[in-house]
Amino acid sequence: MIRLFLRFVRFTVTLALGALIAVWVMRRLQMLHPDHLARRAAVGAAGLVESARDFVGEVAGEAADREAELRARFEVGRVDDGPGEAWRHARSL
């Protein structure tokens, strides 16, 4: 009786493990599908471009602010448009 029970438990565990492995393999294969890869690459590229734009905007704004500060400190000319206006105008073109 014990042998029959142990055989049943081993069979059940093997079946469950096989099902888990099958699901894992199916998910991995779906991740390698060309449509899925292209979608992930497009989303990643869009996020990267947006991050780069934000970074460039912040750097240009900070540089313009620092330039205005230095011009005011050393009394060299004026920045008529205000900090960052020239860069913002060039970006909008």
**Which position has the token pair 């913002």?**
88
**Mean pLDDT (10-residue bins), the chain, 93 residues:** 92 96 92 81 86 91 89 73 55 54
pLDDT of residue 90: 53
Q: Tell me the domain boundaries of the chain.
A: 1-32, 34-93
pLDDT of residue 1: 86
Task: Determine which helix (DSSP H) or strand (DSSP E) holds 66, and give its type and residue range.
Answer: helix 34-74
Are residues 61 and 83 in contact, defined by beta-carbon separation less than 8 angstroms?
yes
Q: Helix axis angle, 85-92 relative to 34-74, nearest 10°?
A: 150
In eight-state DSSP terms, residue 4 is: H
pLDDT of residue 19: 96
pLDDT of residue 55: 92
pLDDT of residue 13: 96
Three-state DSSP at 59 gives: helix
